[in-house]
C-alpha cells in the first residue's frame, strides 16, 4: 500500500460548478471537496510543486481505503456543526484558507483554461417579452428575461424576490462563458445578436417573431455576458481574466452568499411546489391563452424539429402552440450554422437551452431544473435513439435528403407514447438515465444461472438476444459472443416495454425495432411477451419471418422456467421490491444511495420507501443526485469525493475507477459517520456483487 | 400511412419592403388590419389551421422582412418550404420588377428538387388604393405569371380583406400538393434488415 497524503480542497472556483456550490449550504460553509492525492511524501503540504495537472492525474482513491482522513481533518478547520457557523464569515474563511494552504487549488483555474466552453455556448439571454398576463392590454409588451417564465398565478409568494439575481456575480458563474475573444471578434456578426425575441399574444393566435439586428453597435461586447468587465481585448489574456475573476468572485462572495441562500430557497420553492409538477394533459378544458401559459410554465421541455423548422415532437403543447416556437428555434440554430460553428446551448433567465443536431433533426431541451449541458445532451441522445429505433437512420436520412421539408411525424405517428414515456422519465429524473446504466433484479447467483442456462438451451439459430425483464429491471440476458448489447439500446427497450401500455397485458408482439447503438441502419425483430403481469420475455431476431420460431422458443423457455420453479422466484423478487438501506447496516444514517458498477454498466439502489416514498420527495432526491453527478462529472473535474451539506440533507459522491457511489443522509449527519457508512455499503455491494449485478460470462454480460 | 393526423405546411412570404406581406398574413390569420406601417425585422411566424378538401392542415407561415439588410437569414428561412408566396404592390412598379429576383433568390437558397414545379403564388396587393395610382396592370402581371409556368395570380387588399382568403386557400392547396407529391412510400422493405452474417453461432455461451 502506498502512502496517501490527503488534502482537503475547498471549492472556491466560481466557474466550475456554481449551481451546486451556491446551493450547497445555506448557513455554513461552501462545498467541501476532499481529494485523496497519491504522493511520495506524506503530509498535506508535500505535493505543492507538482500540484498542477500531474498531481491531479495521479489522484486516485485506493479501493477500500477509509475516505475520512483523520489527520487532514485537523489540518483544515471545517465547521462540524453547520448551525454554529456565522453566515457571512465562513465563506471568507474558506476562501482564504484554501488559497493559502491548499496546493490543489492550482488545478482549478487551469481546469477552466483547459476546457473553455464554446464561446457562443451561452449567448446572452435573449430578451423576451411576454404578453401582459392580465390580458387587459394585449398590445403592451413586458420585457422579462425569461420566455418560459412562470405565470403570475402559478407563482408562489417569494419567488419574485429573486428577480435580479441574474445581475449579480453569480450570473457569471451560472453561465460559464469564457469567450475566446479572438474568435468572437473575428466574426462579430455571427455572435448571437438576438436583441429581442418577442412573443406577442394577440387574440388567441399566438405569434412569435425573431429579430436580427444589423447595426454595428450590437457588437459582441455588449451581447456576450462577459465575466469580466475589464478592457482586456487580447485573447492571450484569457487566463488572466479568469484569475481576476476568481478574485472578483472572492470579493463578491459575501454578496453571493446572500444569493445562495435565496437560490436554495428558490430551489426548494421550486421543488416544493407540487402544482408545478403537474404533468396532467387535460389541456382540452383550457383556453388557448391558458394553454400557452401552462406550456410556458413547464419546468422542462423536449422538442424535436426538422432542419426546415417543422415540428417533429414536443412533449407538451399542441401544434398551434409549438409550431411558431419551432420556427424561432430553427432560425436561431440556423443562424449559427453558416459560420460552421453550431450553437450548442444558451441560457435565458433560469432556463438552459441545449441543442443537439443530428443530420436533419434538431433536438432541443429547455430546462429550469439545473441539469448540466452534458446531462441534457445525454437525455436528448436518448430521444434521438428512440426516433431511430422506430425509423432507422437509413430511413430518416433518406426522407430528409429527398425532401428537407418532410413532415416526419407522418412516419413517427403512433410512437409518441414512447417518446412521452422517455421524456417523462427524464423530467422526473431516473437513475438509469442519469448513470447511463441498467438495474438488475437482485437474486441468488445459482438462480440466475439456472435461468440463463434455460435461455441458452432453448435458443435457436435465429435468436440474437434473449432477455427476461421484470419491473423494468434485468433478470437475465443472453447474447452472441460477437455482439454486445449497448445500455442505451436496452434502456430504450425497457422504457418502451414498461412506460407504455402497448406491450403489457399478456399478448404476443412481433415488432420491427432498430437498436441504434447496435446498428442504426436496419431493423431487428423483437418477440415480446409479458408472461406475468410485470415480467417480460424478449427474443430479438434478425430474421423478419422468425415469429413462429420465436414463439416456439418462448413456449420452451416458459415451460422450462416453470418446471425449474424459477417463475415464482422472479415474481417474489419483483413483489419484494428493492432492499432497504437499513437492511445493509442497522440504523444507518444513509437514507438512499446509488451505486454504479462501471465494469458491468449496471447500478443498484435501495427502495425509495421510508424516506422518499412520495413522488415529490423522490423528485427532490433525484435533483440532488443530478447535482452530485454533475459535480463529479464536470469537465476536467478531478474530484473523487464530493461532500455537500444542505439544509435538508448531507450527501456524498465518491468516484473511483471501478464504481460511483452517491449517497444521501439526513441533515446534520457528521461527515465521518456518513463516510463510514458509505464504506460499509461499498463493502456490502462487493460481497453481494454477483447477486446485484449480472457479472461474468461471455454471453451474459455487456461489453 | 396518410391516414394520420394533419399535415404541417411551411409557407414563405417574400417581396419588397412595404408591399404588405405582414398585413396579408395578419388579415388572413387574425382578420385584422392596421394602417400604421411597422417594418418586419427578421421574420415573424404565424400558424393557422385550414381545411383543404376536407383535410385539416396547419399552415406555418413564415413572414420575412423585405428590407435587404435582413436577407442574410437566407437558407435558414427558405429551407424545406412547401410553397412560396411572392407579393408586390400594384401601385409600385419597382416592387413588381423585383419579383423575378425574389423568385430566383428563393430557388437558389431553398434549392427544391424540382425547381420548375415548385409552387409559387403571386399576389398583387393594395388594390384598394384608387385606380389613378396604379402602376402595374393586371395584364402585365398575368403575363409575368404565365411566363413563369402559369403561376396562380391574385389581386388582393389586405386592408379591405379582398381576395385574401381565396389567395391563401390556393396557397394551402398548392403547398399540400407539393408536400404530398413526393410522399415517402413507407417502404421499410428488406433493404433495412440487419444482416448480422454468420455471427450468431450457438456456441456463444461461456456461462
| pLDDT tens by residue, A305-347 | 999 999 999 988 877 778 888 888 888 888 887 777 889 999 9
A546 at B interface, C-beta within 8 A: no
Contact B28, B48 (CB under 8 A): yes
Q: Scanning the structure block, which residue is given the C-alpha cell 413522488?
A: A615
- Residue B120 CA to residue B150 CA, distance in Å, equals 9
Query: Of the ranges A143-147, A377-381, A489-493, A501-505, which one carries the lowest mean pLDDT score?
Result: A143-147
Position A137 scores a pLDDT of: 42
- Write the CB contacts of A212 (distance below 8 Å, at least 6 apart in sequence): A193, A194, A335, B41, B42, B70, B72, B73
Q: How many CB atoms sit inside 10 A of residue A284's CB? A: 7
Backbone angles phi, psi at A482, to 5 degrees: -95, 5
Interface contact flag, B47 A324, Cβ < 8 Å: yes
Predicted pLDDT at A284? 58
Question: What nine digits make up the cell of A630?
Answer: 454533475
pLDDT band at A604 (very low <50, low <70, confident <90, very high): very high
d(CA A89, CA A94): 9
Our CA dihedral for A55, A56, A57, A62, rounded to 10 degrees, sits at 90
> CB under 8 Å to B17, separation ≥6 — which residues?
B39, B65, B66, B67
Q: Which of A307, A310, A542 sits opposite B8 (nearest CB)?
A: A310
Tell me what pLDDT residue B205 has: 34
In this structure, of A337-341, A405-409, A531-535, B198-202, the range with the lowest mean pLDDT score is B198-202
Confidence at residue A150, expressed as pLDDT on a 0 to 100 scale: 45
Q: Does B47 touch chain A (CB under 8 A)?
A: yes
Which of A410, A447, A512 to substitute to test the interface with B, most B CBs within 10 Å?
A: A410
C-beta separation of B36 from B26 below 8 A: no
What confidence category does residue A174 fall into, taking pLDDT thresholds of 50, 70 and 90? very low
Query: Is the predicted pLDDT of residue A535 greater than 60, yes or no?
Result: yes
Instruction: Report which of residues A505 and A20 the model is more confident about.
Output: A505
**Distance from the Cα of residue A111 to its chain's centroid:** 21
DSSP 3-state of A517? helix
> Do residue A319 and residue B32 have CB atoms under 8 angstroms apart?
no
- Average pLDDT, stretch A425-433? 90
| Dihedral (CA of A232, A238, A242, A243) sign | negative
Q: Taking the CB of residue A535, how many other CB atoms lie within 10 A of it?
A: 20
pLDDT band at B82 (very low <50, low <70, confident <90, very high): very high
Q: Do B193 and A523 touch (CB under 8 A)?
A: yes
Q: What is the DSSP letter of A64?
A: T
pLDDT for B185 beyond 70:
no
Q: How confident is the model at residue A16 (pLDDT cuts 50, 70, 90)?
A: very low
| Each residue's pLDDT tens digit, A24-35 | 333 333 333 333
For residue B173, which phi and psi values (nearest 5 degrees)?
-65, -45
Interface of A with B in 278-337 (CB under 8 A): 306-311, 319-320, 323-324, 326-328, 330-331, 334-335, 337
Kindly state the average pLDDT of the residues A227-238: 34
Q: Is B192 helix (H, G, I), strand (E, B) or coil?
A: helix
**A194, exposed or middle or buried, with CB in 10 Å at 0-12, 13-18, 19+?**
buried
Which stretches within A471-610 are classed as H helix? 487-499, 516-519, 547-564, 566-576, 581-584
Q: How confident is the model at residue A585 (pLDDT cuts 50, 70, 90)?
A: confident
* pLDDT the model gives residue A274: 44
Question: How large is the average pLDDT for residues A669-694?
Answer: 92
Of residues A212, A414, A700, nearest to B42 (C-beta)? A212
Q: What is the pLDDT of residue B183?
A: 56
Taking CA atoms, what residue in B is nearest to A515? B194
Is there a contact between A334 and B75 if contact means CB atoms under 8 Å apart?
A: yes
Is any Cβ of chain B less than 8 angstroms from the Cβ of A384? no
Confidence at B203, pLDDT banded by 50, 70, 90: very low
The answer to whether A497 touches A469, Cβ cutoff 8 Å, is: yes
CA A195 – CA A192 distance, rounded (Å) = 8
Express as a percent the part of chain A with pLDDT over 90.
30
Domain boundaries, given as residue ranges, for chain B? 7-204
Q: Which pLDDT belongs to residue A280?
A: 53
User: B86 CA to chain A: closest CA distance, Å?
Assistant: 19
Nearest to A309 among B10, B44, B70 (CB): B10
Of A594, A573, A621, the C-alpha closest to A473 is: A573
Residue of B nearest to A398 (CA): B184
Helices (H) and strands (E) in chain A, counts: 24, 22
Check: CB of residue A285 under 8 Å from CB of residue A391: no
pLDDT band at A413 (very low <50, low <70, confident <90, very high): confident
Which residues of chain A are within 8 Å of residue B190 when distances are taken between CB atoms?
544
Range of weakest confidence among A57-61, A363-367, B7-11, B164-168: A57-61
Q: Please give the Cα distance from B3 to B16 (Å, whole number).
A: 39
The rounded percent of chain A whose pLDDT value lies above 70 is: 58
- Which chain B residues have a beta carbon less than 8 Å from that of A320? 47, 49, 58
Q: What is the mean pLDDT of chain B?
A: 81
Pick the more confident residue, A696 or A651: A651
Residue that has been written with the C-alpha cell 432477455 in this structure: A467
Q: Is the pLDDT of residue A285 over 90?
A: no
Cell digits of residue A647: 439544509
| DSSP secondary structure letters along A553-588 | HHHHHHHHHHHHTHHHHHHHHHHH-SPPHHHHSTT-
| Cell numbers that stand for A115 in this block | 476546457
Query: What's the confidence (pLDDT) of residue A62?
Result: 37
State pLDDT tens for residues A201-217: 333 344 455 554 443 33
Grid coordinates representing B63 are 413572414
Q: How far does Cα A55 stand from its chain's mean position?
A: 29
Cβ–Cβ below 8 Å for B194 and A308: no
What mean pLDDT do residues A414-443 have? 90
Write down the mean pLDDT value for chain A. 68
* Cβ pair B207:A323 closer than 8 A: no
Contact pairs from chain A to chain B, CB under 8 Å: 197
Number of other residues whose CB lies within 10 A of the CB of residue B187 = 10
Give the one of B183, B186, B207 whose C-beta lies nearest to A697's C-beta.
B207
Chain A, residues 170-209, CB within 8 A of chain B, namely: 189, 202-203, 205-209
Lowest mean per-residue pLDDT among A13-17, A325-329, A528-532, A533-537:
A13-17
The helix or strand, by DSSP H or E, that contains position A397, with its residue range, turns out to be helix A373-402
CA distance A305 to chain B (A): 12
DSSP code at position A235: G
pLDDT, one tens digit per residue, over B55-81 is 889 999 988 777 665 565 666 678 889
The average pLDDT across A46-56 equals 37
Cell of A390: 422506430
Out of A209, A213, A449, closest to residue B207 by CB = A449
Residues 17-36 of B with CB under 8 A from A: 29-30, 32
Decide if domain A581-692 falls under CATH 3.30.450.30: yes
**Between residues A170 and A438, the one the model is more confident about:** A438
Distance, in Å, from the CA atom of B13 to the CA atom of A442, rounded to the nearest integer, reads 61
DSSP-derived secondary structure letter, A151: P
Q: Considering only CB atoms, which chain B residues are within 8 Å of A206?
A: 47
For A145-169, write each residue's pLDDT tens digit: 444 444 444 433 333 333 333 333 3
Residue A332 has a pLDDT of 87
Chain centroid, CA A494 distance in Å: 19
pLDDT grade, residue B157 (50/70/90)? very high
- Using a cut of 0.95, tell me whether the model's pTM lies above it: no
For the segment A592-609, the average pLDDT, to the nearest whole number, is 92
- Select the residue from A305, A327, A336 to test the B interface by mutation, using most B Cβ atoms within 10 A: A327
CATH superfamily membership of B7-204: P-loop containing nucleotide triphosphate hydrolases (3.40.50.300)
The whole-angstrom distance between residue B38's C-alpha and the CA centroid of its chain comes to: 22
Tell me if A306 and B7 make a contact (CB, 8 A cut-off).
Answer: no
Cβ-Cβ contacts under 8 Å for A452 (sequence gap 6 or more): A476, A478, A697, A699, A700, B205, B207
Neighbours of B19 (CB within 10 A): 28
Q: Do B201 and A481 touch (CB under 8 A)?
A: yes
**pLDDT at B34 (0 to 100):** 80
The Cα–Cα gap between A281 and A277 comes to 12
Contact status of A340 with chain B (Cβ, < 8 Å): no
Enter the C-alpha cell of residue B72: 442574410
Which residue would you say has higher pLDDT here, A218 or A424? A424
CATH 1.10.10.10 fits A443-576, yes or no: no
* Per-residue pLDDT, A640: 85
A652-685 CB burial, b ≥16 within 10 A, e <16: bbbbbeebbbbbbbeeebebeebbbbbbebbebb
Say what the pLDDT of residue A26 is. 33
Contact A338 B48 (CB under 8 A): no
Lowest mean pLDDT among A76-80, A687-691, B111-115: A76-80
Per-residue pLDDT band for A562 (boundaries 50, 70, 90) equals very high
Chosen for mutation from A407, A411, A479 (greatest number of chain B CBs closer than 10 Å) is A407
- The answer to whether B121 and B167 are in contact (CB under 8 A) is yes
Task: Mean pLDDT check: name the lowest of A167-181, A378-392, A440-454, B61-75.
Answer: A167-181
Residue A275's SS3 state is helix
Which residues numbered 154-173 in B keep a CB inside 8 Å of some CB on A?
none
Q: Which candidate, A566, A546, A572, places its Cα nearest to that of A476?
A: A566
Ranges for all domains in chain A classified under CATH 3.30.450.30: 443-576, 581-692
Amino acid at each position: 500500500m502506498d502512502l496517501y497524503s490527503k488534502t482537503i480542497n475547498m471549492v472556491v472556483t466560481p466557474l466550475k460548478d456554481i449551481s451546486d456550490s451556491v446551493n450547497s449550504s445555506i448557513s455554513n460553509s461552501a462545498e467541501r471537496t476532499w481529494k485523496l492525492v497519491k504522493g511520495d511524501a506524506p503530509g498535506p503540504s508535500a505535493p505543492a510543486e507538482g500540484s498542477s495537472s500531474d498531481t491531479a492525474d495521479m489522484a486516485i482513491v485506493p479501493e477500500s481505503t477509509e475516505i475520512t482522513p483523520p489527520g487532514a481533518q485537523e489540518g483544515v478547520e471545517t465547521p462540524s456543526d453547520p448551525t454554529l457557523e456565522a453566515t457571512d464569515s465562513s465563506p471568507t474563511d474558506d476562501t482564504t484558507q484554501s488559497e493559502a494552504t491548499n496546493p490543489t487549488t492550482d488545478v482549478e483555474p487551469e481546469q477552466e483554461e483547459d476546457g473553455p466552453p464554446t464561446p457562443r455556448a451561452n449567448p446572452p439571454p435573449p430578451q423576451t417579452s411576454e404578453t401582459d398576463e392580465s390580458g387587459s392590454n394585449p398590445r403592451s409588451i413586458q420585457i422579462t428575461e425569461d420566455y418560459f417564465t412562470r405565470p403570475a398565478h402559478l407563482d408562489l409568494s417569494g419567488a419574485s424576490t429573486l428577480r435580479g439575481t441574474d445581475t449579480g456575480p453569480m450570473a457569471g458563474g451560472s453561465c460559464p462563458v469564457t469567450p475566446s475573444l479572438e474568435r468572437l471578434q473575428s466574426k462579430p456578426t455571427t455572435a448571437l445578436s438576438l436583441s429581442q425575441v418577442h412573443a406577442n399574444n394577440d387574440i388567441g393566435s399566438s405569434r412569435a417573431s425573431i429579430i436580427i439586428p444589423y447595426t454595428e453597435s450590437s457588437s459582441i461586447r455588449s451581447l456576450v455576458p462577459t465575466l469580466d468587465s475589464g478592457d482586456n481585448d487580447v485573447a492571450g489574456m484569457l487566463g488572466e481574466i479568469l484569475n481576476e475573476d476568481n478574485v472578483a468572485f472572492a470579493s463578491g462572495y459575501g454578496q453571493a452568499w446572500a444569493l445562495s441562500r435565496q437560490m436554495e430557497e428558490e430551489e426548494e420553492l421550486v421543488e416544493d411546489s407540487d402544482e408545478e409538477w403537474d404533468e396532467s394533459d387535460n389541456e382540452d378544458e383550457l383556453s388557448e391563452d391558458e394553454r400557452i401559459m401552462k406550456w410556458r410554465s413547464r419546468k422542462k421541455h423536449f422538442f424535436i424539429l426538422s432542419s426546415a423548422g417543422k415540428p417533429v415532437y414536443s412533449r407538451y403543447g399542441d401544434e398551434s402552440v409549438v409550431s411558431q416556437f419551432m420556427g424561432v428555434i430553427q432560425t436561431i440554430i440556423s443562424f449559427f450554422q453558416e459560420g460552421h460553428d453550431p450553437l450548442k446551448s444558451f441560457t435565458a433567465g433560469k432556463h438552459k437551452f441545449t441543442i443537439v443536431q443530428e443530420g436533419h433533426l434538431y433536438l432541443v431541451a429547455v430546462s429550469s431544473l439545473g441539469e448540466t449541458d452534458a446531462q441534457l445532451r445525454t437525455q436528448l441522445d436518448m430521444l434521438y435513439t428512440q426516433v431511430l429505433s422506430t425509423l432507422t437512420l437509413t430511413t430518416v436520412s433518406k426522407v430528409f435528403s429527398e425532401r428537407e421539408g418532410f413532415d416526419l411525424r407522418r412516419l413517427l405517428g403512433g410512437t409518441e407514447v414512447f417518446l412521452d414515456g422517455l421524456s417523462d422519465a427524464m423530467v422526473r429524473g431516473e437513475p438509469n438515465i442519469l448513470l447511463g446504466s441498467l438495474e438488475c433484479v437482485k437474486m441468488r447467483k445459482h438462480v440466475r444461472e439456472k435461468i440463463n442456462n434455460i435461455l441458452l438451451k432453448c435458443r435457436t439459430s435465429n435468436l440474437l438476444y434473449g432477455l427476461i425483464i421484470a419491473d423494468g429491471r434485468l433478470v437475465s440476458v443472453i447474447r452472441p459472443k460477437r455482439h454486445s448489447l449497448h445500455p442505451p439500446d436496452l434502456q430504450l427497450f425497457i422504457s418502451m416495454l414498461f412506460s407504455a401500455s402497448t406491450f403489457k397485458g399478456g399478448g404476443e408482439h412481433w415488432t420491427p425495432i432498430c437498436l441504434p447503438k447496435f446498428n442504426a441502419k436496419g431493423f431487428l425483430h423483437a418477440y415480446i411477451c409479458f408472461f406475468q403481469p410485470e415480467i417480460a420475455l424478449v427474443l430479438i431476431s434478425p430474421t423478419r419471418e422468425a415469429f413462429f420460431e420465436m414463439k416456439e422458443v418462448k413456449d420452451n423457455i416458459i415451460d422450462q422456467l416453470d418446471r425449474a420453479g424459477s417463475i415464482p422466484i422472479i415474481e417474489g423478487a419483483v413483489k419484494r421490491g428493492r432492499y432497504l438501506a437499513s437492511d445493509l447496516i442497522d440504523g444507518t444514517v444513509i437514507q438512499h444511495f446509488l451505486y454504479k458498477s462501471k465494469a458491468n454498466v449496471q447500478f443498484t439502489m435501495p427502495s425509495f420507501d421510508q424516506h422518499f416514498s412520495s413522488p415529490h420527495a423522490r423528485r427532490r432526491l433525484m435533483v440532488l443526485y443530478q447535482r452530485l453527478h454533475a459535480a463529479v462529472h464536470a469537465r476536467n473535474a478531478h474530484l473523487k469525493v464530493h461532500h455537500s451539506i444542505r439544509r435538508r440533507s448531507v450527501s456524498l459522491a465518491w468516484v473511483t475507477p471501478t464504481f460511483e457511489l452517491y449517497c444521501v443522509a439526513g441533515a446534520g449527519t457528521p461527515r465521518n459517520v456518513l463516510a463510514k457508512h458509505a464504506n460499509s455499503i461499498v463493502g456490502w455491494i462487493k460481497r453481494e456483487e454477483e447477486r446485484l449485478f449480472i457479472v461474468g460470462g461471455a454471453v451474459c454480460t455487456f461489453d | 400511412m396518410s391516414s394520420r393526423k394533419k399535415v404541417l405546411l411551411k409557407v414563405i412570404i417574400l417581396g419588397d419592403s412595404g408591399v404588405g406581406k405582414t398585413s396579408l398574413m395578419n388579415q388572413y390569420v387574425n382578420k385584422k388590419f392596421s394602417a400604421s406601417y411597422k417594418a418586419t425585422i427578421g421574420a415573424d411566424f404565424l400558424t393557422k389551421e385550414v381545411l383543404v378538401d376536407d383535410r385539416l392542415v396547419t399552415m406555418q407561415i413564415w413572414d420575412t422582412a423585405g428590407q435587404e439588410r435582413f436577407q442574410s437569414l437566407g437558407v435558414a428561412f427558405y429551407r424545406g418550404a412547401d410553397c412560396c408566396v411572392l407579393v408586390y404592390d400594384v401601385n409600385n412598379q419597382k416592387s413588381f420588377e423585383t419579383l423575378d429576383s425574389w423568385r430566383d433568390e428563393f430557388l437558389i437558397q431553398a434549392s427544391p428538387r424540382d425547381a420548375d414545379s415548385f409552387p409559387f403564388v403571386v399576389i398583387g396587393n393594395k388594390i384598394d388604393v384608387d385606380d389613378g395610382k396604379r402602376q402595374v396592370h393586371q395584364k402585365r402581371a398575368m403575363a409575368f405569371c404565365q411566363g413563369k409556368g402559369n403561376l396562380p395570380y391574385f389581386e388582393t387588399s389586405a386592408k379591405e380583406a379582398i381576395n385574401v382568403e381565396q389567395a391563401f386557400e390556393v396557397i394551402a392547396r398548392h403547398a399540400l400538393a407539393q408536400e404530398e407529391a413526393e410522399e415517402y412510400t413507407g417502404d421499410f422493405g428488406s433493404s433495412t434488415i440487419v444482416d448480422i452474417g454468420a455471427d450468431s453461432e450457438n456456441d456463444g455461451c461461456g456461462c
